[in-house]
Amino acid sequence: MNELTTLGFLDRLLRRREVIVRTLQHLEKERRQVDENDDWLDQAAYESRVALLDNLTDGYLKERLETDKAIVRIDESRYGFCIACHKPIDAQRLEASPAAEFCVDCKEIREEFYVL
């Protein structure tokens, strides 16, 4: 992978990270509002809203971690290579998922044996 391509992915990852951070801040604010609101009609509605916010937060935290790890791989000149087999990750895969850590083959093997 050439330096220009890598810089393009770095730019995409940094922009996505900014969106993730803003979204996490919004979810945190929303969660505080839910907890401070004492006008819930029933406990089930409250619990449903909290569960939704918690699941969204967990997903964005996971994505932020994956994005941060990809940025570190760029800094260490390891970006674009599978962390399992060390072969290049297909460019189309990186276009679809810039934070991808694994090539398609290693990803399929992991999904077969592990619950992600």
CATH number, position 82: 1.20.120.910
Give the residues across from 81 on adjacent strands: 88
Domain that holds residue 53: 3-113
Number of compact structural domains in the chain:
1
72-81, Cβ contacts within 8 angstroms, sequence gap of 24 or more: 73/101, 74/6, 74/9, 74/10, 74/13, 79/1, 79/6, 79/9, 80/1, 80/6, 80/9
Q: What is the pLDDT of residue 114?
A: 75
What average pLDDT does range 112-116 have in this prediction?
72
What average pLDDT does range 81-110 have in this prediction?
95
What 3-state class would DSSP assign to 88?
strand
pLDDT of 25-67, one tens digit each?
999 999 999 999 888 888 888 999 999 999 999 999 999 999 9
CA distances from 88 to 1, 26, 99 (A): 8, 36, 14
Q: What is the pLDDT of residue 39?
A: 83
The pTM (predicted TM-score) of the whole model is 0.86
